[in-house]
A and B are shown apart, each in its own frame.
Chain A
Amino acid sequence: MIAYLTSFDDMQVMIPAINLQQVHKQYPNHTALLPTTFSIASGSFFALLGPNGAGKSTLINILSTITNKTSGKISVLGYDLDQQQAQAKLLMGVVPQEINLNIFETPIETLVNQAAYYGVNQKDAISRGQYLLEKLQLSEKQAAPIRTLSGGMKRRLMIARALIHQPKILILDEPTAGVDVEIRQRIWQFLKQENQNGLTILLTTHYLEEVEALCDDVAILKDGQLVHQSHVHSVLEQAKHQSIIVETHKPIKDLPNLSPCKVKQIKPHSLAIELPQSYSLNQLFKQLTQKNIIVTQVRQETNPVESLLLEIIQGKPA
């Protein structure tokens, strides 16, 4: 299988990892996805965003063939998902939104069974499984029944399961939902590393800092329709303003004039400051110092991706 997959390496540069042409899903009572066309470049880390019910999971399920599309064409690294389904499926690993592990198995059993479905023999599956469990800090639990694992461990195991056959594309449907901050950071780190090693990743998430930290490209779905697609860095560059919150040493009695920034007092020790894109943090701190305001902490109020998403969803600036 490895030889089979590596024969795609040269082609990957030219062929999009995933190409959707007018993909549409109609249920008897509602439209889950209007005809949608877009591509995901090979090697990219692609975020699919949108509010609940926007059609993200429908799209992911269509890609993973769990949902039958009503019409449209999908190709995976050049393989037609309808006509060459086995070849296309072999190139993808899927982490669904819901935890769907067999709780009576152990992590290593789950990985070995999953590997077999993709043609990986038992010996290779065990060594690859052990490697992935180690990378995802699950080695100690490899022989424990899955029912004894925590939610975060199960999420990581699902990622390991999706990667056991060394796919070229990883599809993640909210992989860090309900996971604590530390484990989320570990998952991010792991995914970033896998992406740097050439894995194309399609991610849906509600954590927008995840998108900012990890993703190259972003697409936004609203009411089953693709309403925006761009590079994350261009979203960051195009952000009209950034909002920060500063914590001050002493309580603020009179709201300072920090023109051209807009200032709002949240708490006695907290100010929300909106900076124009052209205005630097250094200039802001200079003004604060001149006004004898000592800053003890700074944090971002909203990130640019969040602002963009809110603008699109609500149809107005955040």
Chain B
Amino acid sequence: MMYRLQWIGFYGLVRKEIRRVFRIWIQTLVPSPITMTLYILVFGHVIGQKIGTIQQVSYMTFITPGLIMMPIITNSFANTISSFFGARFNKSIEELFVSPLSNHLIIIAFVIGSMTRGILNGLIVVTIIYFFNPITYHILWLAALIILLSSLLFSLLGLLNAIFAKKFDDLNVVLTFLLTPAIYLGGIFYEIHSLPPIWQAISRFNPLYYLIDAFRYSLINISTCPWQYSLKLLLILNFSAYMACYYCLSRGIRIKD
């Protein structure tokens, strides 16, 4: 009986979260493709033609994996933040925690909503890039797996941010001061070997470097570290982020008195 109840509740929450993505599509599905189109035009075409090739591929081809990954990461992160913190702000989140729905299913439902937004943005960007530059793949299943795990990770991190944020200003702190620098220093636009040694060392502490590197390998067969290592790191980070979310919701941190 309880399994059926939990399933209906979970399905209802997933439906609500996905509907939210489409209801506010101007906020959720339009900005990233516009930004990425500008990146493609400015970096891929204008600057890319002057740079020439990196590891025997055109600059546009080199940055394509990063340009696909960037909207997936930022949208997955932003969606759980806005959806969960919005519900916390108007206190409608209390209705979820008063209900018999399990904390695991609450986390998974919010994450599915965010992954939907993240991956949809990624697909839109893939479509846009396709008009400028052919997209190839080296290992398709690895590309799909890295997209899923990256979207999952940043949805969970967004949820953690939304749990701990006290006010709207707190929502931008992580995005502005941590995530954006990490994305730009993650090797989307350059090879890590082109950095000075000290920055190369620092970059190796940036998890985004590994997931972009592995994704680049899965698409164009270029990498600077073994993809197995990146995959393991992604799995560990996902597990840790999930457990942190579950701990916070179970203890009612910032939700219950």
> Which residues of A pack against B, CB within 8 Å?
1, 4, 27, 58, 61, 64-68, 85-87, 89-90, 92, 94, 96, 98, 100-104, 112-122, 161
Task: State in angstroms the CA–CA spacing of A218 and B189 once bound together.
Answer: 70
Contact stretch, chosen from B28-36, B97-105, B134-142: B97-105
A residues in contact with B4, CB < 8 Å? 119
Contacts of B12 in A (CB 8 A): 112-113, 115-117, 122
Contact present for A101 and B90 (CB under 8 Å): yes
> What residue in chain B is nearest A121 (Cβ atoms)?
B8
A294 to B255, alpha carbons, bound, how many Å?
A: 61
Whether, in the assembled complex, B256 has its beta carbon less than 8 Å from a beta carbon of chain A, the answer is yes
Cβ-based interface call for B198 (8 A): no
Q: Is B1 located at the chain interface by the 8 A CB criterion? A: yes
A120-B8 Cα distance, complex, nearest whole Å: 7
Give the number of A-B contacts (CB < 8 Å): 88
The B contact surface, by secondary structure, is helix
Most buried by A among B6, B92, B102: B92
Q: Give the interface centre of B1, B98, B252, B255 by most chain A CB atoms within 10 Å.
A: B98
Closest 9 CB pairs of A and B: A116-B12, A119-B5, A117-B99, A100-B91, A86-B100, A67-B257, A89-B100, A102-B92, A117-B9
Contact between B101 and A117, CB atoms less than 8 A apart = yes
Q: How far, in whole Å, are A90 and B90 apart by their CA atoms in the complex?
A: 23
Q: Which residues of A contact B100 (CB under 8 A)?
A: 85-87, 89-90, 117-119
A98 cross-chain contacts in B, Cβ below 8 A: 91
The answer, among A67, A96, A104, A118, for a CB contact under 8 Å with B99, is: A118
Q: Which residue of B lies closest to A100 (CB)?
A: B91
Q: Given A65-B97, A100-B92, are A116 and B257 also a contact pair (CB < 8 Å)?
A: no
Are A116 and B11 in contact, with the CB atoms below 8 A?
Answer: yes
Cα A114 to Cα B90 with chains together (Å): 15
Min CB distance, B110 to chain A, in Å? 13
| Contact, CB under 8 Å: A86 / B102 | yes
Asked if B96 is at the interface of the complex by the 8 Å CB criterion, the answer is: yes
Task: Chain A residues near B178: list those with CB within 8 A.
Answer: none
22 contacts between A and B (CB under 8 A): A4-B1, A65-B97, A66-B97, A66-B256, A68-B256, A68-B257, A86-B2, A86-B100, A86-B102, A90-B5, A96-B91, A96-B94, A98-B91, A100-B95, A101-B92, A116-B9, A116-B12, A116-B16, A117-B99, A117-B101, A118-B100, A119-B4
